Structure 1
Amino acid sequence: MLTIITPAAKRDLTTLDAVNAELDRVTGPDDIFIGQLISQASRAVESWCGRIFAREDVRESVHLTEPAGALLLSRFPVAVINSVTTEAGSLLPALYEADSDTGMLYRLTSSGGRSIWAPGRILVDYSAGFILPDTEGRNLPADIERAAIIAVRNAYTGRGHNPALRSEEVDGVGTFSYGLPASLSTEVTDLLAPYRLPGFA
């Protein structure tokens, strides 16, 4: 079970400036529309990959029914482990270590060797995810941002014949509501494939 302690302030995987550069356009009336497409594309990327990329503080509860050599945390990359609590109490930081890239959390002995997690409930408070574009220290992989940019570009340039057109109102003004295509293009999914969780393959 995962509880979000501090949600990300934003989860957009690219920026208006990056999309405008891709489209070779300057800021203009379409900026609000493009901003909406960026948010839609970012959610679509998350959905396809089965994970959230923005850094958040979370609390994860793991229930072990048998001994385990490692715990696989739901969010990664792991930025910092704030606390680990077993049924015997809180563990000192020297008694665990995390593999940042994979989200594997290991129990350590007092001498620093790897040990076994005992059955029972384990609570882990940690911060995980990437720092997104347009934020100091950004570390979101460039191919994830590139995938989002392409998805936005495709939706923007194809809006005149968008298969995801949700509504059309011709009585009076004539209002159109656009969305992303039902599926991401192969160009996008090829970039995202290394970041997709196995269960979503």
Structure 2
Amino acid sequence: MLTTLAKVKAELQSPDADDALLTTLIEQASATIETFCGRSFAAAAGTETIRLDRWRERLILDRTPVVSVASVVLNGQALDPASYEVENSGSGFLLRLDASSCSIGWPVGRVVVTYTAGYSATPPDVERCCIDMVKLSYFSRSRDPLLRSEDVQDVVSKTWTAVPSVETLGGLPADIAGRLSGYRMVSFG
């Protein structure tokens, strides 16, 4: 989860009776954000196999930021840790180095990289977006999302819209999507 129940409860000043609901809303908001961004934010170890059909100056690892690289195996041969380095942890660029630490690129073949990537803690701006999404869901849970206006002057006059009035992008309110855009993973097809 991208935030804690305690942080959401403190912001909403909600009663303990809402704990189960808030936990569910946090889980849903976290999943929606991770789907939108195309990434998991939690640091985790994994192995990635990259098949190269031509020489490459650098490898681009799928998960970022890269915390550490445990091993690199090139065409069945384990490489000495001094023979590779992460150029930019945020971009996930992995360089192959010669004895004088100059980049020499990656040859055709199969590269297996075991590494840890992600965040040790949720970035504060991502956590803020998660809390904002929980608040939106919490406060709108008992109202009709298509109700545009209500006039109680001489008893009631209601109007509805066929389209929700909140602009969305990728399933998120547009303002939250905009704040998360820097965390979206770009995929090359």
| TM-score for the superposition, normalised by structure 1 | 0.77
**2:83 corresponds to which residue?**
95
Q: Are the counterparts in 2 of residues 77 and 129 from structure 1 also a CA contact under 8 Å?
A: yes
Structure 1: segments with no counterpart, 5+ residues: 1-11, 132-137, 164-180
For 2:54, give the aligned amino acid. E
**SS of residue paired to 2:142:** helix
Equivalent position to 2:143, from 161, 181, 184: 161
**1:18 corresponds to which residue?**
7
**SS of residue paired to 2:68:** strand
Q: For residues 26-65 of structure 1, what are the structure 2 equivalents within 5 Å?
A: 26=15, 28-65=16-53
**1:142 corresponds to which residue?**
124
**SS of residue paired to 1:30:** helix
Say whether residues 1:196 and 2:184 are aligned partners: yes
Distance 1:15 1:188 in 2: 19
Equivalent position to 2:175, from 187, 195, 198: 187
| TM-score for the superposition, normalised by structure 2 | 0.82
Q: Show CA shifts across 1:75-109 (max 9, x none).
A: 01111100000015000110000121111111111
Give aligned-pair identity as a percent.
Answer: 38
User: Which of the two has higher C-alpha Rg?
Assistant: 2
Distance 2:129 2:9 in 1: 15
**2:157 corresponds to which residue?**
none
User: How many residue pairs align between the two structures?
Assistant: 164
Q: 1:112: Cα distance to partner?
A: 0.5
For 1:116, give the aligned amino acid. G
Q: Are the counterparts in 2 of residues 155 and 162 from structure 1 also a CA contact under 8 Å?
A: no
Query: What is the root-mean-square deviation in Å for CA atoms of aligned residues?
Result: 1.8
Equivalent position to 1:111, from 91, 96, 100: 100
**SS of residue paired to 1:47:** helix
Structure 2: segments with no counterpart, 5+ residues: 146-167
**SS of residue paired to 1:43:** helix
**1:77 corresponds to which residue?**
65
